[in-house]
Amino acid sequence: MITYVRFSLLFFVIHFVCYIIAGVIDLQLAKKMYAGKNRLYKSFFRDMDDKKESMRIAKLLIPSQFVRAIVMSMVLYPILPYLEELSFTMQFVFMVSLMFVYADFASAIPFSNTIEGIVYLKKEFLEKRVFWTIQLEAILYSLMFGLLSAWLLF
């Protein structure tokens, strides 16, 4: 039991660090998508320029990412013994792939960088600049997560 709790808590720390770093880097490239009067996602994202909305997001950021990370980590419980037997390189490749493919690109959520998004979203959400800017965050997150996971989790 202690092994699973430790695994989930460490998973959360790794997830949160990678989430924040990738998000901060991507936000520098994607500000016009998320902020300002003419932001691309204004019809469905909260207005980060509104202080009340920004405070709400800040209050929910850590708890929401904690729940997200714990749920993601629990899915791996049945295969933990097998993951521990893999080499560092294979652990890295597995975790990068898991995060990038399942948690992002092949996700069932239609967004600017997912297969579902390519099928269902309007053209303005799928411009190459938009696709690659959002994809960069997913790639950065996945690579950092894979590296830290292989190094610290197993």
| pLDDT for 123 | 94
| pLDDT for 50 | 87
| pLDDT for 101 | 96
What are the domain boundaries of the chain? Answer: 2-152
**Over residues 128-154, mean pLDDT:** 96
Which residue type does 34 have? Y
In total, the chain counts a number of residues equal to 154
Burial (CB < 10 A; 0-12, 13-18, 19+), residue 3, is exposed
The torsion region of residue 36 among left (phi > 0), alpha (psi -120 to 50) and beta comes to left
Q: Give residue-wise pLDDT tens across range 12-60.
A: 999 999 999 999 999 888 888 888 888 899 888 888 888 999 899 999 9
Q: Give residue-wise pLDDT tens across range 97-126.
A: 999 999 999 999 999 999 999 999 999 999
| pLDDT for 42 | 87
- Look at 23-37, 66-80, 99-113, 140-154 and tell me which has the smallest mean pLDDT: 23-37
| pLDDT for 76 | 97
